[in-house]
Chain A
Amino acid sequence: MTTERADALAAPHGGNCADGWRTYGDDAQERVGFFTDTSICIGCKACEVACKEWNDVPDDGFAFTGQSYDNTGALGANTWRHVAFIEQDRPVRVPDATPPAPHPPGGDTGAADGFRWLMSSDVCKHCTHAACLDVCPTGSLFRTEYGTVVVQEDICNGCGYCVPACPFGVLDRRERPNASVVKPDGRVHKCTLCYDRLKVGEEPACARACPTDSIQFGELDELRRRADRRLEKLRAEGWADAHLYGRDPHDGVGGFGAFFLLLDRPEVYGLPPDPVVATRHLGEMWRWAAAAAGAVVALVAAVFAGGRR
């Protein structure tokens, strides 16, 4: 039995020091991550394919959603990279940040004001303060020496607590197999940021496969500098809505290890606009529970005041 290291709690809310990362001491590596620049994503899904190939991720069904070119829908146990396709009736560039033109009621009159297609490759955010890591009761989820968050599949017992804990809906349980499947599962799975490839100095498969460098892998500090320069350039060109999502180390999860440049509001891409790690309020929750427990004790004691009848 191991006791969680106290310095995980003492990690500063800032910089690039992820919870628990300092416990590695001299073995800690530079924190790495992804910068996904959606402004140059072409929706080729090479990242999805490369991820599946390298990590031996099973198929996620062969469904046809009818939702643009997206047939995987969302991140999950069997989708560790997910390319979103958003079709909007608005010009490609929106210099004055006007609201997107709503579909007129009673029928679409076509793209009178222009048409644009947003594509974005979503992935686990490898949060600085990771809810999945916090709530995992077995210690299966852990912080690697690279500051990333990984599930140890030989320990996970499939309790599923991390699934609703993640503010991004990244993790999911690979369903318990029926009798015909040889290898049983029932555990949670997610992006490992190709932990095995990092160990031998390779970049993750998705970043390697990306033909436009929309997915950039590197040391987080360097990625943040690069993203700042890119945002500045886009803003100067008139992309008023462009913004960095998850770059701020002071946001509700302490910044993402894998952050994004988006061209519209996060919720348009299926991302939460202001995610907060639930464990931020854990102290408060235990205090309310202690008060409730006290109330139960008081109540039980009080009912004996009236004697046995």
Chain B
Amino acid sequence: MSGDRGAARGDAPQSYYGRPIIKPPVWTWEIGAYLFTGGLGGASATLSLAARAAGDHRLARTSLLVGAAADAASLPLLAHDLGRPGRFLNMLRMFKPRSPMSMGSWILAVSGTSSGVAAALEVAGRLPRLKLAAEVAAGLAGPALSTYTGVLLADTAVPAWHEARRELPAVFGMSAAASAGAAATLLLPPADAGPARRLAVAGVIGEGIAMETMERRIGFVGEPYRTGTPGRLARWAKALAGVGALLLGLRGRRSRTASVAGAAMVLAGEVCLRFCVFRAGFDSATDPAYTVRPQRERADARAAAAAGAQEAGPSPEPGRIAPGDGDGAR
């Protein structure tokens, strides 16, 4: 048995000339970048609203502007990835709960509009009531914007995404919280950045737990998160976000340098994490083993159960079944 990746290819052919069973996404880097900017925008709006409620207006203003900028950056990224960018508005042609992308379009439309309005009024210093209403709308849409992307990826046939459906929204939500906290920490003097700094550290810890839980649970189909390009991105994400959070936690309160450096490292780590998850989907779709093996095991288990139910019946395809073949080369 060759020790290569996807070593589930045993003696029996598991695919047609090694070709993928499913199609890898056609999405380009813009979508990976949007996973980051959308999360940053959503969580920043929520952080801003919470800061406003707590009377921390400096943090509220900073996060509001960060959120509006991130939302504004998301739009061209998404439009540019379309095969027909001119038909971008067709995204709002339906309100379709069965399509996470339709829901996401509406969430982004609400969040982007309200945070944009709120930021403009904040800068202009006018219409405080309308501004507050817009801030509340953006702040409430924020948690949805920062987590729906997990559902967006999970609702596909890509094994590394679909099997990770429980944890992906949490990974993205925590990553978004870390990004929003780090962005505000980067822009504020340490004395004013306390809550943002704590959010960055807590987000990094939360995302680490969610990611670890996911990889342990999904096992074999989670291999793309550990190998190849996404594996390298995952290691960079852990190193950058981990060291950055440590720096923020230990020195961030006293030293502006440590605060800026730590925040920048956390942000860079979150970008790596988003691209890790994004790229892992491509590797997962391209290797037929990830599609075939779990399905074959499922089908065989069902056939065995059916055979067990009617004992007199002939055993289904004896000798053809080798679930777990190649486990040793995992």
A residues whose Cβ falls under 8 Å from a Cβ of B: 1-4, 8-9, 65, 67, 70, 73-74, 76, 84, 86, 97-100, 102, 131, 134-140, 155-161, 163-174, 176, 184-188, 241, 265, 267-275, 278-279, 281-282, 284-286, 288-289, 291-297, 299-304, 306-309
Name the interface residues of B245-290: CB closer than 8 Å to any CB of A: 253, 281, 285, 288
**Cβ A288 vs Cβ B165 within 8 A:** yes
Known contacts A138-B94, A157-B83, A293 near B147 by CB under 8 Å: yes
Query: 0/1 per residue, B95-130, Cβ < 8 Å to A?
Result: 111111110010000000000000000000000000
The answer to whether B199 touches A303 (Cβ under 8 A) is yes
Closest residue of chain B to A185, judged by CB? B83
- Kindly provide the distance from the CB of A12 to the nearest chain B CB, expressed in whole angstroms: 17
Q: How far is the CB of B217 from chain A (nearest CB, A)?
A: 12
| Contact of A294 (CB < 8 Å), options: B96, B143, B206, B253 | B143
Q: A3-B95, A157-B87 are in contact. Are A169 and B22 (CB under 8 A)?
A: yes
Q: Is the CB of A299 within 8 A of B15?
A: no
Report Cα–Cα, A308/B51, bound state, in Å: 10
Number of B positions contacting A (CB below 8 A): 97
Given A137-B99, A292-B147, A299-B202, CB of A131 within 8 Å of CB of B157: yes
Check A99–B102 contact: CB distance below 8 A: no
Q: Are B170 and A291 in contact (CB under 8 A)?
A: yes
Counting from the closest, the 3 A-B pairs by CB-CB distance are: A158-B83, A186-B83, A270-B16
Specify the chain A residue showing the minimal Cβ separation from B190: A309
- Interface SS, B side: helix
Determine the chain B residues whose CB is within 8 A of the CB of A161 once the complex forms.
99, 101, 156
Of residues 46 to 68 in B, which have CB atoms within 8 Å of A's CB atoms? 46-47, 50-51, 54, 56, 59
Q: Are the CB atoms of B143 and A167 closer together than 8 Å? A: no
The CA of A300 and the CA of B166, in the complex, are separated in Å by 21
Least CB separation from B91: chain A residue: A137
Q: Is the pair B84, A156 in contact by a Cβ cutoff of 8 Å?
A: yes
Residue interface mask B149-182, A partner, CB < 8 A = 1: 0110011111001100111111011101100010
B13, CB-defined interface residue at 8 Å: yes
- B94 near A4 with CB under 8 A, answer yes
Cβ of B143: which chain A residues have Cβ within 8 Å of it? 293-294, 296-297
- B216 contacts partner chain A, Cβ-Cβ < 8 Å: no
At the interface, yes or no: B328 with Cβ under 8 Å from chain A?
no
Question: Once bound together, how far apart are the Cα atoms of A135 and B104, in whole Å?
Answer: 12
Among A102, A155, A299, which residue has its beta carbon within 8 angstroms of that of B90? Answer: A155
